[in-house]
Structure 1
Amino acid sequence: MKIPRRPISLLAAAAAALIALPGTASADAAHRGRTYEIATQGSDRASGSARHPLRTIAHCAELAKPGDTCLVHRGTYREQVTPPSGTKDAPITFAAYGDGTVTVDGTDAVTGWKDAGGGLVSAHVALPLDPSENALFLDGGRTMEGRWPNSAPDPLNPTWAVAEKTSTDQHIDDPALPPGDFTGATVHIWAGSNPWSQQTGTVAATTAGALDFTGGNYRCPPLCMGSQTYRNYYLVGAKATLDQPGEWYYDKAAGTLYLVPPKGGMAGHTVTAKRRDWGLDLSASSYVTVRGLDLRGTSLRTGKDSTGVLVTALHARYVSEFSTLPMPADSDLSIPPGEGNIVDSRVLDSGVQLLGNGNELRDSEIGYSAGTGILVRGSGNTVTNTYVHDVGWMGSYTPGIEINGSGHTVTHNTVRRTGRGSIDVSWQLNGVPFHGNRIAYNDLSEAMRTSRDGSPFYVCCNLDATATSIDHNTVHDADGQVGYYIDNSSSQFLLHHNVAYNTGTRGTFFNGHSSVSLGNRDHHSSYGLGITTAAVRLSGATDATGTFVSNDVALTPLEISGPGSPAPVVRSNLLPPVDPRYADARNGELWLREGSPAIDAGETVDGVTTGVRGAAPDQGAYEYGAPVWSSGCSLPGCQSRVHNSGWKATTSDGADASAAVDGDQTTQWKAATAQTPGQYLTLDLGTPKSISRLALDAGLDATGHPYGFTVSTSSDGTHFGAPVARVGGRSFTQDAVFPQTTVRYLRIELTAPGDTPWAVNEIRLYADGPDAASTLQAEQATYTKGVVRGDAATGILGAGDSIGFRSVRFGTGADIMTVRLASAGCGRGCSLQLRLDSPHGQLAVTLPVKDTGGADTWQEQSVHLTHSVTGAHDVYLVAKGGHRVAAVDRLTFRP
């Protein structure tokens, strides 16, 4: 079928230009490189021209030779694509055409639904995946496999049942267990004194208020039921659990899929089921470029021999699904197993997988995985400027990014909302060497959602990290115990210029674990609020030779112990009770203010100390007077936390609950009585803020989280409307999600009774886009024209150059803009224009640029806006005047 000829898009034009560049021609002179087009209206018997496109990407892959390009028009492609290899000088390219979203979908439609009795419908279907790896989507949204107790759709807000203390390693007592036959169901367990991994078993028998199971509990104690702090579990994978719309169960033996239909029946509803694990399978491919494609219900992988693969602008959602945690085979491990392999369950068979050598994933978004977000394995691979979120909800050691091997570069990524770690390195998978890796400028937050013994950045165990650098990272707002955790005798880790706050008991922990901890170093790091006992700790080492901690700034002491010859070096650190004069500790802005005692108080550390201003290096992660570096990616979604500008919280009985909003996750407000419906907390944000998510964090408390609550809003603090969100169940950190709105007052009200008092460690708010009240770092601009972003500022903007930020939230108004910039020799007439919604949009103000005395001399310059800016806008700074107007470090807005 012919399709109309469309005007070529900017992306397609760019692709065509790349094809024509020198050096991209095939080494085979007889093949110059051809462009095929693919469209859902096409035919695989067609030529692949613009007028006669192909129908499938897979067929284009069959035709493609080195130097060829497959341009894919908008639409959904339910297929698996297995590209051939290109060559180093002539890669094969698969790219979105640029006329809309291109989705490679791993699911197929399920039809033929019939009444199955008992309020269920069923369809006969042969699902090819292992039953524990099935996934179902109702009207495009992931729907929950039948489970007890019922849970909300967000898998990182699971509802847990709590076993009685009389339970044992293979037996659960629970009077709340409903009647029914759960034999064969999976029991998911999060239990023990301080559980570091979750486990699954199989129900063998059920009786009234009790069940027996097999499997799980490989280490019992401490990872088992009984008289333990954590005794959480749920059941999944039994027909008897089906009791709410959208829940499903698959009987593989009978080939029958059961579903609780939506209210009103199946008419008008679409169901799809996962069928393909790898929508883009490059496991046998090299020198392939994948650009601008979406994945849904499937994933992408390269192979152990892949090289020269570039994946850019990938948007992957629901990449991995599973409901069991089997222990991997010994053959998958680099080292003989020491813990029954339980900690490495599903790490190697989930996530987007970048294996092999010299491959790159960049400028991408990876979201929603039961297991790993991104697996990096082999050598010399790169992951940069990528947003990873909502992964690892099964609670094993599957992190946002798993790094195995040597020579990798993992930089400028944002990893948020993970079941356990954000970035993880496993000894069983990696082997002892972990050489020459660079892990830098990453923002890691909201980790440890379904674990407690761990950290956002976690290393285990016995690793040799020679020539590896962990630098310029930020870890924060996590419910584990540590920010940077170098566990169980790992050595030669160099940490420097890192930031940690709200990470639990410690900022960084070098754990000797009754063995050695050699050559571990931490320099020029800054530790903020929410660290209770030690900013840096070394303990349990029989030999700590080479340990060196210097130039750190902290609000809590250091605890460095362990013999060595020479002994560990600890010096030139700024510690309590001295106030470091952080810019804004409540919001994690730990750079120094004027007059800080950390300025010029450090010592030079070879290979670490750089960019010194003044008489000597500064202590801490930021050099006063230099541009302030930032961590994380620059894509939409990478900046979302709402600035805490002195919020207030009060209880329903009028008591102060400031500990819930003080920016310190280790302080706690706890109610005086057990939970009862109608109890509430009221938040006053001071000024109206744009918000779309509220996170209610109970910290390490195993009992204080609510059994159910609503969120409502108000403009005056007295009259609250109908709830904008309802949250049920018992999860330790609970999220209420609602349409983005601008409000000043919030009320969190309990809807269910509980046996224990309500406890809140911290309430955090989020929304789409950065908050105008926070600091907008120029290097995180989502738009640039004519200027390059560095790690801490832009280059010099000339006339017509610009930078922009997407969806900046101004709330009810900003009146003053302050820009930190450097300028020299531009003269009169140089300025920075603030424009709204486009580089040519409404002019909000013009800031005349004053000469700062040098292109590397930074100064804040402010201007009153012509009119107060409200709501949410894309904002742009546009340079006017000479060819060297100014370099920009950051900008802020205030009333």
Structure 2
Amino acid sequence: MTAAAAALFALPGAASAHDSAGRTYEVATWGSDHAPGTSRKPLRTVARCAELVKPGDTCLVHHGTYREQVTPPSGRKGAPITFAAYGDGTVTVDGTDVVTGWKDAGGGLVAADTALPLDPTENALFLDGGRAMEGRWPNSGSDPLDPSWAVAEKTSTDQHIDDPALPAGDFTGATVHLWAGSNPWSQQTGTVTATTAGALDFKGGNNRCAPLCMGDQNYRNYYLVGAKATLDQPGEWYYDKAAERLYLVPPKGGIGGHTVTAKHRSWGVDLSGSSYVTVRGLDLWGTSLRTGKDSTGDLVEGMRAQYVSEFSTLPMPADDELSIPPTEGNIVDSQVLHSGVQILGTGNTLRDSEIGYSAGTGVLVRGSGNTVTNSLIHDVGWMGSYTPGIEINGSGQTVTHNTVRRTGRGSIDVSWQLNGVPFHDNRIAYNDLSEAMRTSRDGSPFYVCCNLDASGSSVDHNTVHDADGQVGYYIDNSSGHFLLHHDVAYNTGTRGTFFNGHSDVSLGNQDHNSSYGPGISTAAVRLSGATDATGTYVSNDVALTPFEISGPGDPVVRDNLLPPTDPRYTDARNGELWLRAGSPAIDAGETVDGVTTGVRGAAPDQGAYEYGAPIWSSGCTLPGCSSRVRNDGWKATASDGSDATAAVDGDQGTQWKAGTAQTPGQYLTLDLGTPKSVSRLALDAGLDATGHPHGFTVSTSGDGRTWGAPVARVGGRSFTQDAVFPQATVCYLRIELTAAGDTPWAVDEIRLYADGPDAASTLQAEQAGVIKGVERGDAATGVLGTGDLIGFHQVRFGAGANRLTVRLASTGCGRGCSLQLRLDGPHGRLAGALPVRDTGGSDAWQEQSVTLPHAVTGTHDLYLVASGGHRVAALDWLTVRD
């Protein structure tokens, strides 16, 4: 995390330490729990402060690491109890304790006698501040969303695996993790009962067999974890619960000088018995936070939680956790209710927070009237069940303006099995959902199952994209009364939205004013399998592929813009699906009550963006919420000289495939055209599970001729493989194979990412990290006057950009009004000024540009500061490009 990002997360704690007139206590790592808790004599632990506070009181916590569990009492409405970072640095509630007493254990291992209190399947170990991998076979890299899988022979059966590559060793008692079947929508685990070289028996798993089972199936992936015999690479560990002994393969050079911590506390902040408690600016490491089913009025803000949940098995949910009689199919809901940050109860809020790295759920929202907003959830659900970025159960929930990316399955999930039939009056809006379905095949970023009644709920103004599943918005298995509108989908697989009756009803589902872009191969909207589709209503959509809508009940499908008509999207390759002048979608829609508001012109437009209105954006405004590198015409060539344009055309529906089987030395070269700041490369190889590179490196170059040593090495077998490396400005990248394979390698799409937003991308004004003197809307700011500003943290300019373009609206300012582009601070270096011309009204939007006197290079905080009048301009978006 950059210094600017760290500062932003610390701001909520410093900005409002005193929430009431109650007493204030201070806590510091240098204090004493026998002290009075004053500034000069602070307490030592947050837990001691929790014992002292009463309604209206505040605990201010100084910077440092606190290895403890915090269990506050309840405040009162109007007099909450507040736990807040003091503002002098990062405050971390750590769920791990240091492991000491390491001794040589023979065989290249060290061991420590230690009692780990959690269930053995929930243990987690950290080596020098990074997650250590539990011993496994085959070995895997550090990214749990890109695991290495063994592949069983087709002679395998329900409880038996044949694999000539399986080494000799005693794996009895190990967990076998299965990703298997003809169309595996979930993963399962079992327990090894017997092993020999090349074969093993196991029990458990294989629920719903077929199609989720081993044998002669399309998918026969598995790995082993949790056996001492798997320890063979530095950092791997195994815990013998009976002997209370922890084994570790030490780093090269020995364990000396290294720090090992083990997870001891599942809930670092436990609000399960608390109401009216505010937690502000406290970070979590190796632990999580929860409210309870009776909690109300709790507020969590400005929290950064990492490694919140860990588990290695997927047990069937308990009977009392299910809203329907338990069946084998409920294995899909394993661990959903036992992981993640949990916002339970009524009227509780999680906002302005980052939750990253969870084997299961990122955030669980359960109860009624709760809110999750402006938060970043990422790298979760890697165990491959239905644990999503955000799980929503109950009614009256508000989930808005969140960014969810890199999830094992769904980004946002709604489960009837856990929720029961009522799912009323929920709002799911302005969320950005991407890079989902990393370890599953049949699913979607937004997924609903099953038989759910969503009366009164709205799913609107969301964006789903760059996902490895089959659908963008998936209303599955007879769920009904979902209102979708003004949503966007691109690069989501075979469909954009799918209403699946699944041999039952699909009632009252609607989709209006949605925009579907490239990377949807068959149907932008599909309705099928319904015995009764009464109330289905699809209108005002814009798509690049046709619809497939059929079923009894007279579905209404009208006023949509479909192929072969070109909608004239602004930049579909980069997901900018708003309309250009002359689009046939302008004024071509019908009026839909409660949906087509803010109309410009003679009639509503078709699609998600009304031409002439501000362009709304989805996702959060925190550091890390924007990271995609703009593709402004990259070129790709293969080592055999062939054109690999399909790998970088922005469309996952096209594919480049090598002409021969994988061999070390084959490569693709990417020419970015202009130098770009890059720190992650995502290689999407599609869903056929045969074209994934078995191993590759990434190298960079400034001229395309001289290449340095590889900056990343990648293995694994997930649909998308990520190469992560130190951020650098480069013009060329090379992907080179390091392992052989029986089939040619294939690439559907290559995407690039980096810390901070790309100056060449469209920076939405309402997503600015800093806004001063003006209100932030859903699609623009209010009118800025002199001294008012918006700011973006750590914007990437690459090797240089010299033209500022701003979409704005202005009236009555007169001559002398301008927008100043300043770098690294509101009063920082002036990079240029845009003279503001009157557009004819504060709601009349126009693009205005200026050439900067000097190109801006590198990475800077960017500020746009108004000057010259009380009403200079309202802002929609800006770019800085060549």
Question: Shorter chain as normaliser: what TM range?
Answer: over 0.9
Offset, 1:732: 2.5
Quick check: 1:594 aligned with 2:581?
yes
Quick check: 1:804 aligned with 2:791?
yes
Counterpart for residue 160 of structure 1 = 149
Correspondence for 1:343 among 332, 341, 348: 332
1:133-172 alignment runs, 5 A limit = 133-172=122-161
Mapped to 1, the partners of 2:271 and 2:186 lie a distance apart of 31
Offset, 1:720: 1.2
1:752-792, Cα deviation, whole Å (9 max, x unpaired): 11111111111000000111111000011011111111000
1:286-337, Cα deviation, whole Å (9 max, x unpaired): 0000000000000000000000000000100000000000011110112223
- Count of residues in correspondence between the two structures: 873
Task: Return the letter of the residue paired with 1:15.
Answer: S
1:609-654, Cα deviation, whole Å (9 max, x unpaired): 0111111110000000000000000000000011111111111010
Describe the SS at the equivalent of 1:466.
Answer: coil
Correspondence for 1:571 among 533, 547, 558: 558
Quick check: 1:102 aligned with 2:91?
yes
Counterpart for residue 467 of structure 1 = 456
1:800-833, Cα deviation, whole Å (9 max, x unpaired): 0000111111111111111000111111221110
Describe the SS at the equivalent of 1:464.
Answer: coil
Correspondence for 1:886 among 870, 873, 878: 873
Quick check: 1:541 aligned with 2:530?
yes
Quick check: 1:436 aligned with 2:437?
no
Correspondence for 2:501 among 512, 519, 522: 512
Offset, 1:226: 1.4
Task: Answer whether contact 1:811 1:872 (CA < 8 A) is retained.
Answer: yes
Task: Answer whether contact 1:321 1:371 (CA < 8 A) is retained.
Answer: yes
Counterpart for residue 15 of structure 1 = 16
Mapped to 2, the partners of 1:44 and 1:623 lie a distance apart of 60
Counterpart for residue 236 of structure 1 = 225
Task: Answer whether contact 1:599 1:624 (CA < 8 A) is retained.
Answer: yes
Correspondence for 2:730 among 739, 743, 746: 743
Task: Return the letter of the residue paired with 1:823.
Answer: S
Counterpart for residue 517 of structure 2 = 528
Offset, 1:50: 0.2
Offset, 1:57: 0.2
Mapped to 2, the partners of 1:162 and 1:703 lie a distance apart of 12
Mapped to 2, the partners of 1:10 and 1:291 lie a distance apart of 9
Task: Return the letter of the residue paired with 1:89.
Answer: G
Task: Answer whether contact 2:765 2:877 (CA < 8 A) is retained.
Answer: yes
Task: Answer whether contact 1:659 1:668 (CA < 8 A) is retained.
Answer: yes
Describe the SS at the equivalent of 2:332.
Answer: helix
Quick check: 1:630 aligned with 2:631?
no
Describe the SS at the equivalent of 2:481.
Answer: strand
Counterpart for residue 849 of structure 2 = 862
Mapped to 1, the partners of 2:12 and 2:571 lie a distance apart of 41
Quick check: 1:604 aligned with 2:591?
yes
Mapped to 2, the partners of 1:552 and 1:731 lie a distance apart of 33
Counterpart for residue 5 of structure 1 = none
Task: Return the letter of the residue paired with 2:673.
Answer: G
Mapped to 2, the partners of 1:376 and 1:11 lie a distance apart of 23
Counterpart for residue 3 of structure 1 = none
Task: Return the letter of the residue paired with 2:510.
Answer: R
Quick check: 1:52 aligned with 2:41?
yes
Task: Answer whether contact 1:11 1:97 (CA < 8 A) is retained.
Answer: no
Task: Return the letter of the residue paired with 1:342.
Answer: I
Counterpart for residue 254 of structure 1 = 243
Counterpart for residue 493 of structure 1 = 482
Offset, 1:672: 1.2
Counterpart for residue 196 of structure 2 = 207
Quick check: 1:81 aligned with 2:82?
no
Counterpart for residue 570 of structure 2 = 583
Task: Answer whether contact 1:357 1:381 (CA < 8 A) is retained.
Answer: yes
Correspondence for 1:182 among 155, 159, 171: 171
Describe the SS at the equivalent of 2:337.
Answer: coil
Counterpart for residue 6 of structure 1 = none
1:497-542, Cα deviation, whole Å (9 max, x unpaired): 0000000000000001111000000000000000011000000111
Mapped to 2, the partners of 1:337 and 1:851 lie a distance apart of 65
Counterpart for residue 705 of structure 2 = 718
Offset, 1:354: 0.0
Task: Return the letter of the residue paired with 1:599.
Answer: I
Correspondence for 1:826 among 800, 813, 816: 813
Mapped to 1, the partners of 2:544 and 2:740 lie a distance apart of 38
Describe the SS at the equivalent of 1:860.
Answer: strand
Q: Are residues 259 and 786 of structure 1, via their aligned partners in 2, closer, same or farther at CA, if it must alter by over 3 Å?
A: same
Correspondence for 2:446 among 457, 465, 468: 457
Mapped to 2, the partners of 1:277 and 1:86 lie a distance apart of 24
Counterpart for residue 729 of structure 1 = 716
Task: Answer whether contact 1:413 1:631 (CA < 8 A) is retained.
Answer: yes
Describe the SS at the equivalent of 1:348.
Answer: helix
Offset, 1:228: 1.2
Describe the SS at the equivalent of 1:811.
Answer: strand
Task: Return the letter of the residue paired with 1:825.
Answer: G
Describe the SS at the equivalent of 1:492.
Answer: coil
Offset, 1:12: 6.4
Task: Answer whether contact 2:13 2:281 (CA < 8 A) is retained.
Answer: no
Task: Return the letter of the residue paired with 2:16.
Answer: A
Task: Return the letter of the residue paired with 1:75.
Answer: G
Counterpart for residue 5 of structure 2 = none
Task: Return the letter of the residue paired with 1:439.
Answer: I
Offset, 1:730: 2.8
1:47-97, Cα deviation, whole Å (9 max, x unpaired): 000000000000000000000000000000000000000000100000000
Describe the SS at the equivalent of 1:366.
Answer: strand
Offset, 1:688: 0.9
User: Identity of paired residues, percent?
Assistant: 84
Correspondence for 2:109 among 120, 129, 133: 120
Task: Return the letter of the residue paired with 1:423.
Answer: I
Describe the SS at the equivalent of 1:870.
Answer: strand
Describe the SS at the equivalent of 1:406.
Answer: coil
1:837-875, Cα deviation, whole Å (9 max, x unpaired): 111000011111111110100011110101111111111
Offset, 1:15: 2.9
Mapped to 1, the partners of 2:293 and 2:679 lie a distance apart of 41
Offset, 1:13: 6.2
TM-score by length of 2: 0.98
Mapped to 2, the partners of 1:59 and 1:174 lie a distance apart of 55
Mapped to 2, the partners of 1:130 and 1:13 lie a distance apart of 38
Task: Return the letter of the residue paired with 2:194.
Answer: A
Mapped to 2, the partners of 1:496 and 1:106 lie a distance apart of 42
Mapped to 1, the partners of 2:186 and 2:487 lie a distance apart of 27
Offset, 1:433: 1.1
Task: Answer whether contact 1:336 1:428 (CA < 8 A) is retained.
Answer: no
Q: Are residues 874 and 334 of structure 1, via their aligned partners in 2, closer, same or farther at CA, if it must alter by over 3 Å?
A: same
Q: Are residues 112 and 365 of structure 1, via their aligned partners in 2, closer, same or farther at CA, if it must alter by over 3 Å?
A: same
Describe the SS at the equivalent of 1:341.
Answer: helix
Stretches of structure 1 lacking an aligned partner (at least 5 in a row) = 1-8, 26-32
Task: Return the letter of the residue paired with 2:619.
Answer: G
Describe the SS at the equivalent of 2:594.
Answer: coil
Task: Answer whether contact 1:474 1:500 (CA < 8 A) is retained.
Answer: yes
Task: Return the letter of the residue paired with 2:458.
Answer: S
Task: Answer whether contact 1:692 1:738 (CA < 8 A) is retained.
Answer: yes
Task: Answer whether contact 2:187 2:384 (CA < 8 A) is retained.
Answer: yes
Offset, 1:229: 1.2
1:320-399 alignment runs, 5 A limit = 320-399=309-388
Mapped to 1, the partners of 2:91 and 2:801 lie a distance apart of 39
Correspondence for 2:409 among 420, 445, 464: 420
Offset, 1:699: 1.4
Task: Answer whether contact 2:12 2:281 (CA < 8 A) is retained.
Answer: no
